[in-house]
Structure 1
Amino acid sequence: MASNRNETTMSRPVRIEVEAAGHLGHVFASRRPAGTAGEAAVVLIHGIGASHRYLQRLHGLLAESVDTFSIDLPGFGATPRPSHTLSVAEHATYILGALEQLGVTEFVVVGHSMGTQFAVEAARQQPSRIPHVVLMGPVVNDRRRTVAQQALALGRDCLFFESPSSNALVFTDYLRCGPNWYLKNLRVMMDYPIEEKIAGVTAPVLVIRGANDPVAPADWCRRLAARAASATFLEIEGTGHVVQHNRAVQVADSILGFTGAAASGNETAQGSTA
């Protein structure tokens, strides 16, 4: 029976504590009924200081068509803080290990902001498990590689291009993260050369940005896509950096279309653009 994409048709995701690679995180799982045909699962990865909360709208829409998992990485959201700051590679190892424990052997990895770095690294570590990679608002722009430039871009985004709800989600998660842990992870983010690492990704890549996003400008996203073996670039009008929250329907439809899950998803959900 067809359902309206603007209504909540799935039950709330189940939170699962998963220890992998010596670290504890939370996985929020929405699985379709047993025996339901579907494409590879989709795994959503948050950015620096954030959590699964600003991915919830996108998660709910994707879960209508495919098994969907959102992760609170170790040290973020309500997860315990690791004894040391994890590298991008260590976060990727956690993601791969956690999903393996849950029996998810193949999945589309979708990262936002710093989460795009974890997505790229996971696709490099175990390419056979990841058929598609989606990068939303990727960082760090290689022509604005200072903390001051990134802070200015983020400030402009929050002031002029975000919705009150997206700002509320991000800022409350930043408060939970705390300045010390945020700054430690900021150095990790700034030091990761995603523009070099993406060349090692063999899976097709979709780069998405909000058309008003000052953190991930169009020229940077196009240059990043050009360095991938196979990539598509997409802009979504009328929003800034937190594109997956403010334009969740468009982002979900783009991901499903890119991965080939749109046709099977339409059997259970008819898309209507908000």
Structure 2
Amino acid sequence: MTIDAHFAAIEGNGPHHVLVLHGWALDSGVWLGTRAKSNVMDFTWAYLDFPGYGASRPSQPADGVDGMAASALSAVDELGWTSFSVVGHSMGGVTALRVATLRPEAISRVVALTPVSPGGTPLDEATYAAFANAWDDPGAAIRSNLAPGIEADDLDRLVARNRATMDRPTWEAYLKNWTSADFMGDLSRIQSPVAILYGETDPFITADYLKPTLDHLPDGRLVKLPSVGHYPMIEATAEAQEAIEKALRA
């Protein structure tokens, strides 16, 4: 089997297996802070880099959210996991939901952290171009559109890792992937509980934006994380990891 997505790290010896998926602007390094605070006795954490990111370079970006989910499932199959939970951030959050629709019988829990919509995020031409061109100055775009309260040094590290772990073609390919997701009607297949966590100060992923997703889930709940934006795992590391593990245990 050829696998075009790779695990950057597999940590822990716990019986509860957890697949962890990153978002658009950064590879699995976005989880470095929460990894240091994770429970490795009760959980085993597998941190995936999508094709074209981090440990999966060089490789061609996945084709659509379905391609991302297929890469994730292929990588999990290599581990021999037949039952697992999936955690995802933003673009990885919508992919976590897609994984759960494709293999519902294997999924114990889904935790989607500030996820983009399974119904896609239609952007007009000018807005789409602004997202694509944010590659030129991702720090400004993140602060203005996603995490207005993020600390300057945290933002600097995020941008530096962005430059070290991906390239512009990957940025543009995955922008197309997450904005064009189209499987809202398949959410009814998910058999497991789904927790959707969002940041109180996130200007983009709001409760109103998430409502259609929540309405389509058989067993979904919305959890607000106070005083953080689109990157809770960076802005409030301990609190984010606590909320994730609480949802995994629920």
- Residue aligning to 1:63: 39
Q: Distance in 1 between matches of 2:54 and 2:101?
A: 26
State which of 131, 141, 144 in structure 1 corresponds to 2:108: 131
User: What displacement does 1:172 show?
Assistant: 2.4
Task: Output the TM-score relative to the length of structure 1.
Answer: 0.76
Q: Which residue of 1 aligns with 2:25?
A: 49
SS of 1:234's partner is strand
| Deviation (angstroms), 1:211 | 0.3
**How much has 1:252 moved relative to structure 2?**
2.1
Whether 2:16 is the aligned partner of 1:25: answer no
Name the counterpart of 1:183.
172
State the shift of 1:205 in Å. Answer: 0.5
* In 2, Cα distance between equivalents of 1:99 and 1:169: 29
One-letter amino acid of the structure 1 residue matched with residue 198 of structure 2: R
Please say if residues 121 and 180 of structure 2, whose CA atoms lie closer than 8 Å, have aligned partners that are also in contact.
no
Shift of 1:115: 0.3
Post-superposition shift, 1:154?
Answer: 4.3
Q: Deviations over 1:32-64 (max 9, x none)?
A: 2xxxxx452122100113111111122232233
Secondary structure of 1:131 counterpart: strand
- 1:90 corresponds to 2:78: no
1:234 and 1:215 map into 2 onto residues whose CA distance is 16
Counterparts of 1:54 and 1:101 in 2: how far apart (Å)? 23
AA matched with 1:162: I
1:227 offset after TM fit, Å?
1.5
Paired AA for residue 223 in structure 1: P
CA RMSD of aligned residues (A): 2.7
Of 202, 207, 216, 1:213 maps to 202
After superposition, give the CA deviation of every residue in 1:139-168 in whole Å (9 maximum; x if it has no partner): 149696216178498452457222234423
Once the two structures are TM-superposed, the CA of residue 104 in structure 1 deviates from its matched residue by: 2.6
Corresponding position of 1:168: 156
Structure with the greater alpha carbon radius of gyration: 1
- 2:137 is aligned to none
Distance 1:195 1:154, change over 3 A: farther
- Residue 162 to residue 125, structure 1, CA distance change in 2 (3 Å): same
Say which is worse superposed, 183-192 or 91-100, in terms of deviation: 91-100
Indicate conservation of the 8 Å contact 2:200/2:224, yes or no: yes
Q: Which structure has greater helix proportion? A: 2
Percent of counterpart pairs with the same letter? 19
Opposite residue 117 of structure 1, the aligned amino acid is V
Query: 1:233 matched to which residue of 2?
Result: 222
Distance apart, 1:84 and its partner CA: 5.6
Using the alignment, how far apart are the partners of 1:237 and 1:92 within structure 2? 30
Runs (5+) with no aligned partner, structure 2: 135-140
Alignment: residue pair count: 237
> Quick one: structure 1 residues 166 and 54, their matched pair in 2 at CA, closer, same or farther if it must change by over 3 Å?
farther
Post-superposition offset of 1:92: 1.3
Change beyond 3 A, Cα 1:144–1:41: closer
